[in-house]
Amino acid sequence: MSELPRKLPAHVAIIMDGNGRWAQKRGLPRFQGHFKGAESVKEIVKATREFNIPWLTLYSFSEENWKRSKEEIQTLMNLLVEYLEKELSEMQENGIRLKAIGRIWKLPEKAREKLLEAIEKTSNNKDMTLVLALSYGGRQEITDMLKSVLRIKQNLTDLDKITEDFVARYLYLEMPDPDFLIRTGGEKRISNFLLWQIAYTELYFTDVLWPDFGREEYIRALQDFATRKRRFGGV
């Protein structure tokens, strides 16, 4: 059993990649990989709460994922509904507050309603915040931020007021920047995830496919984070 390091991030973000390849390697249909990946979600959320890490953001469904087949999208939306229905009581018992970022209005009605219901019911929980990125893209978030500013601040003429803090207030969610970004599945790219927020985030890439990423792999990643020296542009 790996030992949890003392130095831990306050906010972990994860690009959960590899469900399809996990299934393909086993001669299974892609949806079986998504089912197995949902088990990893439960395990990592549970571990994050246990480790007293206050924030966890999961890249659950990207804006680009709408290009996938209708069958696969339906499977993913059904899994989202199932997760919210089954895990709501666990979130309540463990003080987990649920939030979401992305173009939520594009989700199917049932998924959107279940999501908003869970967000409302967990809104007073304070021990951990779980953020699901759904119909999300980093470029889209910045685009939507500009639309919000122009709509609300039509007569903004004092450009000195446009600071980084000002921009952050108009993103999908005001939250601390991730300290640590994990990407599973072997790819080494950001894939349009939290482009504004990860300016100084420590990045960790692993070949482990998401359905195989459990508690031990998570601790191994956190051990790597503990060795990093974060300078934020300083010496």
Position 150 scores a pLDDT of: 85
Which active-site residues does the annotation give? 17, 65
Mean of the pLDDT values across residues 68-81? Answer: 96
Domain 11-137+177-226: give its CATH code: 3.40.1180.10
Mean of the pLDDT values across residues 160-174? Answer: 89
In DSSP notation, 75-108 reads HHHHHHHHHHHHHHHHHHHTTEEEEEES-GGGS-
Sheet hosting strand 96-101, strand order edge to edge: 96-101, 128-136, 55-62, 11-15, 180-183, 202-205
Position 66 scores a pLDDT of: 97
Buried-exposed string 22-48: b where 16+ CB fall within 10 A, e elsewhere: bbeeeeeebbbbbbbbbebbeebbebb
pTM: 0.95
Q: Which two tokens stand for residue 25?
A: 């390697």
Residue 96, number of CB atoms within 10 A of its CB: 22
Contact call for residues 29 and 46 (beta carbons, < 8 A): no
Contact call for residues 14 and 202 (beta carbons, < 8 A): no
Contact call for residues 115 and 83 (beta carbons, < 8 A): no
* Gap between the Cα atoms of 185 and 209, Å rounded: 4
Confidence of residue 2 (pLDDT cuts 50, 70, 90): confident
- 58 - beta bridge partners? 14, 132
Position 159 scores a pLDDT of: 75
Residue with more model confidence, 230 or 155: 230
Q: Which residues neighbour 102 within 8 Å (Cβ) at sequence distance 6 or greater?
A: 61, 63, 133, 134, 135, 136, 137, 140, 141, 172
pLDDT at 235 over 60: no
φ and ψ at residue 130, rounded to 5 degrees: -105, 120
Q: pLDDT of 179-197, one tens digit each? A: 999 999 999 999 999 999 9
Position 161 scores a pLDDT of: 77
Q: pLDDT of 111-157, one tens digit each? A: 999 999 999 999 999 999 999 999 999 999 999 999 988 887 766 77
Domain spans in the chain, listed from the N-terminal domain onward: 11-137+177-226
Q: Which residues neighbour 222 within 8 Å (Cβ) at sequence distance 6 or greater?
A: 4, 5, 8, 9, 51, 180
* Gap between the Cα atoms of 217 and 102, Å rounded: 28
Q: What is the mean pLDDT of the chain?
A: 95
